[in-house]
């Protein structure tokens, strides 16, 4: 409940900022033409009106005491969120996205599939290990070998060597 209000308020501030930012950074347009700044500004005006209307609906929908209570609970809720599987999943996703190129496809895929699998409650280590290896290999062979889609080999020398070795194996096959 509180997050909805915060997101709407942030959107409103951002829209107001963008409205003036676009006007200040774009070249002046002729009086009889639609300039580069006018289209986004028109969208922003509608967006600001809609957000204000949405905020009005929010306050109409929720009782004042409920909103106050939601803000009182915001810190316990945040602590709960940081402890949740969802937050861990989000962290894993971001780490995977940033590690994808440096570590390469093979290492990232294996580590991510194991990590996220455990996060989602997979408790059979052998099943997980075998499945992860099979899936990684299927994805690698399917996309890289059969479909010719480029997958990153990684910058780490050891991991890059493995990727190159696999590539040469499949090339010989």
Partner 1 sequence: MFELLTSGLAVVFQPVMFILLIFAVFLGTLFGALPGVSATMAVTLAIPFTYKMDAVNAIAFLVATYCASITGGGMTAILFKIPGVPSSAPTTYDGYPMAQRGEAGKALGIQLICSAIGGMFAAFCMLLLSPQLTQAALSFGPAELFAISFMGLSILTSLETDNICRTIISGLLGLLLACIGLDPLLGVPRMTFGTRFLTSGIEMIPVMIGFFAVTEVLKQTQKRSELKAVGEVAQMKTEMPSLKELLSVKWTIARCAILGTVIGILPGAGATIAAFLCYSTEQKLSKYPEKFGTGIIDGIAAPETGNNAASGGSMVPLLSLGIPGGNAAAIMMSALVLKGVTMGPLLLVNQPQFLSATFASMLVSNVIMVFAAIIIARVFVQVLKIPYSILGPTIIMMATIGAYATKNTAVDVKLMAIAGLVGFVVVTCKFNSSALILGLVLGVICESNLRRAYTIADGDTLMQVTLNILSRPVTGVIMIVCLIVLLNPVLKPLLGKLKKSDKATV
Q: Which is nearer to partner 1, 3 or 164 (CB)?
A: 3
Kindly state the smallest distance separating residue 170's Cβ from partner 1, in Å. 16
Residues in the site for partner 1, rule: CB under 8 A? 3-4, 7-8, 11, 15, 18, 21-22, 25-27, 31-34, 36-37, 39-40, 43-44, 46-47, 50-51, 53-54, 57, 84-86, 89-90, 93-94, 96-98, 100-101, 105, 108-109, 112-113, 115-122, 128, 131, 135-136, 139, 143, 147-152
Q: Which is nearer to partner 1, 50 or 168 (CB)?
A: 50
Kindly state the smallest distance separating residue 83's Cβ from partner 1, in Å. 13
Kindly state the smallest distance separating residue 143's Cβ from partner 1, in Å. 6
SS (H, E, C) the chain: CHHHHHHHHHHHHHHHHHHHHHHHHCCCCCCCCCCCCHHHHHHHHHHHHHHHHHHHHHHHHCCHHHHHHHHHCHHHHHHHHHHCHHHHHHHHHHHHHHHHHHHHHHHHHHHHHHHHHHHCCCCCHHHHHHHHHHHHHHHHHHHHHHCCCCCCCCCCHHHHHHHHHHHHHHHHC
């Amino acid at each position: 409940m509180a997050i909805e209000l915060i997101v709407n308020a942030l959107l409103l501030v951002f829209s107001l900022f963008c409205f003036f930012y676009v006007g200040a950074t774009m070249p002046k347009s002729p009086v009889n033409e639609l300039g580069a700044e006018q289209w986004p500004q028109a969208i922003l005006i509608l967006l600001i009106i809609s957000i204000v209307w949405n905020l009005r609906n929010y306050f109409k929908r929720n009782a004042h005491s409920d909103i106050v209570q939601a803000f009182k609970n915001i810190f316990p809720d945040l602590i709960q969120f940081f402890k949740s599987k969802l937050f861990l999943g989000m962290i894993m996703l971001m780490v995977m996205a940033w590690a994808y190129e440096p570590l390469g496809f093979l290492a990232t895929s294996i580590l991510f599939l194991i990590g996220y699998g455990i996060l989602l409650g997979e408790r059979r280590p052998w099943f997980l290990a075998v499945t992860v290896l099979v899936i990684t290999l299927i994805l690698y062979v399917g996309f890289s070998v059969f479909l010719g889609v480029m997958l990153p080999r990684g910058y780490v020398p050891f991991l890059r060597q493995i990727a190159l070795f696999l590539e040469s194996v499949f090339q010989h096959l």
